Structure 1
Amino acid sequence: MKKRILGWTIASLVLGMVSSCSSDSETKEESIPYKKTVTKVWEYAPAFGQFVNELPPYEEGDTIESMRVKAEKALRNNEVITLGGFGGYVVFGFDHTIPNVPGKRDIRILGNAFANNAEPGVILVAYDRNKNGVPDADEWYEIAGSEHGSPTVIRQYEITYYKPTKDKEEESGEVAEYIRWKDNQGQEGWKTKNTFHQQSYYPKWKKEEALTFSGTLLPNNAVRVEQTNNWQLPPFAWGYADNYPNAREGATIDIDWAVDQEGNKVQLPGIDFIKIYTGLNQEAGWLGETSTEVAGAIDLHME
């Protein structure tokens, strides 16, 4: 009888040890070290701009895909990319769902804004509801920032930029009538090339003769300082990219600010993807066009 009890006890200990090891192994396998920063860029499509073809740098032979990879590498390392003028955009994602924590801001959007030099970009967020791992068109919601209710905001704004001619590209110095543009509000004109950046402002990997972008147009924020040639670009109160220095609370957003296409608030459990596009169509004298720059994003619940 004692032998049988002893045998059972030893067997139980062995099974227990195996079970414990198995449990520890499973726990380790399930403990995935998620990154708090951007891991994937889905699309990179800048408009015209004085930093286009420089941030990230274009090289002869680059394609839409190779430029996407360059943008992805930059954002993974929190390096700056430009979106160019109104509508230019980037779509990026994370290796996990960023939770929507009630009463807290959830994401920090990184850019290169500094005091009185804000170039606000409109932010859209998407929750991967069908779990297919890609940002589907019907999953996007706009972050309703401080200007959302302003009567000067134009929704469903659309603008087309026309590729400059070879002669225009070869001109040196300032080129006043450089890139022609036209919008759906009956406005048209020219974008200027300044003396500080002499490379092409049109994405050189794009073969199209015209590029069209659409979205929410924010009110201009450029102000010329009286009796000087200096310009200030004050930030909006909250809710935009490249609007406040990265360390400020103004660079963070709350997922609860998301609204649908009719402007109704939505309740998202979290988000997997972010789209940012330049929200202004303006020039500020010698500073040139207002172009949103992005340097990644951070999950505040992992910060």
Structure 2
Amino acid sequence: MQKRINPLPVLVVAVGMLSFPFATFAQPLNPPWADAVVSANAIDPVPGFTDPSKALGKPVGGGVYAPDQSSVYSIGRPGPAPGSFITLAFNTPIENHPENPNGLDFIIYTNAFWVGGKPNVRWSEPGLVEISEDVNGNGIPDDSWYVIPGSRNTNRSALPQGIPNPYPPLAGVVTNPNLDGTEYDWGYMGMSPTVQEYLDNYMRPDDPFTVGLTDGSGGGDAFDISWAVDEDGNPANLERIHFVRVNAFINDSLDPFGYVTPEIVAVSAVAPDNDTDGDGIRDAYELRVSGTDPYRSESTVLALERPIEYGGSPAGTLLGDACDPTGNRIVFYSSGIRSGYRDYNCNVDIQVHALAPSGGVPDGLIKSGACREFIAGQPDFQAAQIQDAQFTIAYTTAEIVGLDESKLEPVRFTGTSYTREGVSGITRDMVNNLLTFRSRYPGVFLLISEAGMGDETPGQSAITLLAEPDCATADGISDVTFVSEPIILPDETPAPAGMLFTVTVAPETLATIVTPDADAETPGLQTAAAADSRITFTLRSTTLSGQASVRAASLDEATVGQVAYTFLAGNPVGPVPIYPLNPNATAPGPIHFSTDILYDEHDNVLENDRLITILVDGGRCMNADAAPDTPGHQLRVTQGRAYFSVIADTDVKTTDTAQVRVRLYADAEMTLAIADAVFVFDILAMPMRWLVLCVLLLAMTGAGRLFYACNPCAKRGTP
């Protein structure tokens, strides 16, 4: 029988005359990552990446298009004994668990990437993996070691001197020869990219037998302990392991890129496929990483951003929600591209309190019995670079006895009293006894109101809102007019002329309501129904882009309509810096470039899939035209930047350098210049096989998105 463990100890804090509990999250004692470096030896590692402790702890990923190099250890190349290797130890053994997805037990994360964004073309520097169980229990890897031979059936005789790069190649730019969506190579580390952290993805394995990224996984190369064999090729039959050793075994030089030197980021145990509370987070992750409760769906992990591989996080994207069994809820929305050092996940929880902390409330209003604590690992959602969190309090009839239900509002406890600070966007669903609002801060919230009749539950009907135009620019002057369909009330009668409806927009930073208030004495901005039972109102964009929620509701909240509306960034403005992504790029290339982040005149970041025009002198752009029917050569914006590759024109008979000029424009007519840069590169007589291969790979990126991940030329100096 499985023993229930509650990972949410309670910290009791004295609040006034009341000892009030505030929940905190436990720090797990048995994380799934490697705990110690037992030993390491590196022959000719990449300079600057020689700290083996980088392989400890949680993975750090940049995505399938380009790796994050901040936590990389270069294992080195094969050579004289003992060769190049790293041995890692795990305090909690990795189990050969039958409930692990596809039987996979651990994942090795590296800095591999997809060349040109194509999942069947990868930059790979593989390592041979060995595993061992601490049978004698002395904490030292002095028991038998077993090799995982991989798809090429590589045995320990390849170590320490290594073997040549086989055919089809295992190292370098590796094209999968299979045409049926299955992987040709598996069972080695260094084959698959590491994705940015997202929920519990670092404990979810990528399917090593299928091309592409398994939904929800963090990438990396996954292994089954059952693949291990002894010196004679017989199954090792291990039930668990305590040590993992990764060896360099391809002894080859990839001209002009240098030696094959595997690089490692981290190793993780796989989480068994158990999710007891159905919150989408594996139980093992909640117990071993987040410290949330795997038995309560409201105690969970929400994302603060979504990687581009999973669709990205444009402003207004739903990042996640947590709900308890009674309907109390926490919802996160994106405010657009985040930057700088930041967390990617946030622990949350919801607690229902029978008693509220003592303290005064604004305007002498009356306290209800509805007190909820919304707990989050981020103390300030704006500082976390997301929208103010959306909280919903599900109240009961007994909790609002003697109060006016139509005027319920939330206030936040400060430690001594209650405040409206940071609270906005209040909506009331009196039919279902739900009050929803936005707050910049988590904490303890209490519903208050005037005296009234308590729970009055009318019927409810919907308002259909239509917008013209479909989307607008966040320029501070663009107007959007919303017109409803004829409104039918819950009693099935048309809304009478003059009936008031409250109009709100959230977040308020995206738009202002410019329609005059039809009743200044009623809280909020009111618009009146016309003779045809329609309402009309106009919003004006601010200078902040994103997705707004526009809502209209009758004063009794019995008739409600809501629609999402997007305010787009304007044209990008210059000057925009352009820089090569190959540190020591040479002509003819391919030479990979990136712009800096593209902003409009109001500092909004351009959304994904926006188009800019490129013009290259002294070379040619190798990206496919993203919009062939539009004049000029178009590039798509990805995560606020434009990535492109150029083959430089070379004439070694007359000069040993090549000059490339790159110009970028905000429009197809090339009237709005945003960048103009000239680069000079030394000409390198590239071996014909590599030049042809690179050109072919670039030509294969027909989707129009050639990312800067195609970067094998950066090998020396950047792993």
Q: TM-score range by the shorter chain?
A: 0.5 to 0.7
Deviation at 1:249, TM superposition (A): 2.7
1:47 to 6, 29, 43: 43
Q: Could you tell me how far apart the structure 2 residues matched to 1:246 and 1:32 are?
A: 24
Question: What is aligned with 2:267?
Answer: 297
Q: Structure 1 pair 290/233, CA: closer, same or farther in 2 (3 Å)?
A: farther
Q: Could you tell me how far apart the structure 2 residues matched to 1:244 and 1:32 are?
A: 28
Deviation at 1:75, TM superposition (A): 2.6
Q: Deviations over 1:85-122 (max 9, x none)?
A: 12410000111111101351000101001122011100
Q: Structure 1 pair 221/283, CA: closer, same or farther in 2 (3 Å)?
A: farther
Deviation at 1:238, TM superposition (A): 0.9
SS in 2 for 1:47: coil
Question: What is aligned with 1:241?
Answer: 189
SS in 2 for 1:286: coil
Deviation at 1:219, TM superposition (A): 2.5
Question: What is aligned with 2:149?
Answer: 144
Question: What is aligned with 1:210?
Answer: none
1:81 to 55, 66, 73: 73
Q: Could you tell me how far apart the structure 2 residues matched to 1:241 and 1:217 are?
A: 17
Question: What is aligned with 1:274?
Answer: 244
Question: What is aligned with 2:671?
Answer: none
1:92 to 88, 93, 97: 88
Query: Are 1:157 and 1:217, in contact at CA under 8 Å, matched by a contact in 2?
Result: no
Q: Could you tell me how far apart the structure 2 residues matched to 1:131 and 1:217 are?
A: 38
Query: Are 1:220 and 1:281, in contact at CA under 8 Å, matched by a contact in 2?
Result: no
**Equivalent AA in structure 1 for residue 151 of structure 2:** S
Q: Structure 1 pair 89/234, CA: closer, same or farther in 2 (3 Å)?
A: farther
Q: TM-score, normalised by structure 2?
A: 0.25
Q: Deviations over 1:145-194 (max 9, x none)?
A: 1010xxxx575246xxxxxxxxxxxxxxxxxxxxxxxxxxxxxxxxxxxx
Q: Structure 1 pair 223/295, CA: closer, same or farther in 2 (3 Å)?
A: closer
Deviation at 1:261, TM superposition (A): 0.6
1:126 to 132, 147, 160: 132
2:52 to 66, 71, 77: 71
Question: What is aligned with 1:204?
Answer: none
Q: Structure 1 pair 217/89, CA: closer, same or farther in 2 (3 Å)?
A: farther
Q: Deviations over 1:113-142 (max 9, x none)?
A: 112201110000001111111111x42100
Query: Are 1:126 and 1:272, in contact at CA under 8 Å, matched by a contact in 2?
Result: yes
Query: Are 2:124 and 2:170, in contact at CA under 8 Å, matched by a contact in 1?
Result: no
Question: What is aligned with 1:114?
Answer: 113
Deviation at 1:233, TM superposition (A): 3.1
SS in 1 for 2:245: strand
**Higher-helix-fraction structure:** 1
Deviation at 1:274, TM superposition (A): 0.3
1:232 to 173, 192, 207: 173
After superposition, where does 1:204-243 map in structure 2 within 5 Å? 213-214=160-161, 219=166, 222=169, 232-234=173-175, 237-243=185-191
Q: Could you tell me how far apart the structure 2 residues matched to 1:82 and 1:104 are?
A: 29
Q: Structure 1 pair 140/234, CA: closer, same or farther in 2 (3 Å)?
A: farther
Matched, 1:33 2:38: no
SS in 2 for 1:156: helix
SS in 1 for 2:157: strand
Query: Are 2:77 and 2:259, in contact at CA under 8 Å, matched by a contact in 1?
Result: yes
Question: What is aligned with 1:253?
Answer: 223
Q: Could you tell me how far apart the structure 2 residues matched to 1:265 and 1:215 are?
A: 23
Query: Are 1:154 and 1:217, in contact at CA under 8 Å, matched by a contact in 2?
Result: no
SS in 1 for 2:107: strand
Q: Structure 1 pair 48/234, CA: closer, same or farther in 2 (3 Å)?
A: farther
After superposition, where does 1:51-62 map in structure 2 within 5 Å? 51=46, 53-56=47-50
SS in 1 for 2:189: coil
Q: Structure 1 pair 154/110, CA: closer, same or farther in 2 (3 Å)?
A: closer
Q: Could you tell me how far apart the structure 1 residues matched to 2:54 and 2:74 are?
A: 14
Q: Structure 1 pair 155/135, CA: closer, same or farther in 2 (3 Å)?
A: closer
1:286 to 238, 256, 269: 256
**Equivalent AA in structure 2 for residue 132 of structure 1:** N
**Higher-strand-fraction structure:** 2
Q: TM-score, normalised by structure 1?
A: 0.57
Deviation at 1:299, TM superposition (A): 0.7
Query: Are 2:132 and 2:242, in contact at CA under 8 Å, matched by a contact in 1?
Result: yes
Q: Could you tell me how far apart the structure 2 residues matched to 1:140 and 1:243 are?
A: 23
After superposition, where does 1:146-161 map in structure 2 within 5 Å? 146-148=151-153, 156-157=157-158
Higher mean C-alpha displacement, 38-47 vs 71-80? 71-80
Q: Deviations over 1:50-88 (max 9, x none)?
A: x1x4103xxxxxxxxxxxxx4125533542100111241
**Equivalent AA in structure 1 for residue 230 of structure 2:** D
Query: Are 1:256 and 1:266, in contact at CA under 8 Å, matched by a contact in 2?
Result: yes
SS in 2 for 1:90: strand
Q: Could you tell me how far apart the structure 1 residues matched to 2:91 and 2:242 are?
A: 8
Query: Are 1:126 and 1:140, in contact at CA under 8 Å, matched by a contact in 2?
Result: yes
Q: Deviations over 1:236-288 (max 9, x none)?
A: 52111111113543310000000001111121111110000112011111111
Structure 1: runs of 5 or more not aligned = 1-30, 57-69, 159-212, 225-230
Q: Could you tell me how far apart the structure 1 residues matched to 2:43 and 2:175 are?
A: 23
Query: Are 1:126 and 1:141, in contact at CA under 8 Å, matched by a contact in 2?
Result: yes
Structure with higher Rg: it is 2
Q: Could you tell me how far apart the structure 2 residues matched to 1:258 and 1:295 are?
A: 22
SS in 1 for 2:56: helix
Q: Could you tell me how far apart the structure 2 residues matched to 1:223 and 1:257 are?
A: 19
Query: Are 2:125 and 2:170, in contact at CA under 8 Å, matched by a contact in 1?
Result: no
Q: Could you tell me how far apart the structure 2 residues matched to 1:244 and 1:82 are?
A: 16
Q: Structure 1 pair 35/283, CA: closer, same or farther in 2 (3 Å)?
A: same
SS in 2 for 1:256: helix
Q: Structure 1 pair 287/223, CA: closer, same or farther in 2 (3 Å)?
A: farther
Question: What is aligned with 2:180?
Answer: none
Structure 2: runs of 5 or more not aligned = 1-26, 60-70, 115-121, 177-183, 196-205, 209-220, 272-283, 286-719
Q: Could you tell me how far apart the structure 2 residues matched to 1:282 and 1:233 are?
A: 14
Question: What is aligned with 1:169?
Answer: none
**Equivalent AA in structure 2 for residue 55 of structure 1:** F
Identical-residue share of aligned pairs (%): 27
Query: Are 1:48 and 1:85, in contact at CA under 8 Å, matched by a contact in 2?
Result: yes
**Equivalent AA in structure 1 for residue 95 of structure 2:** P
Q: Structure 1 pair 46/220, CA: closer, same or farther in 2 (3 Å)?
A: farther
Deviation at 1:234, TM superposition (A): 4.1
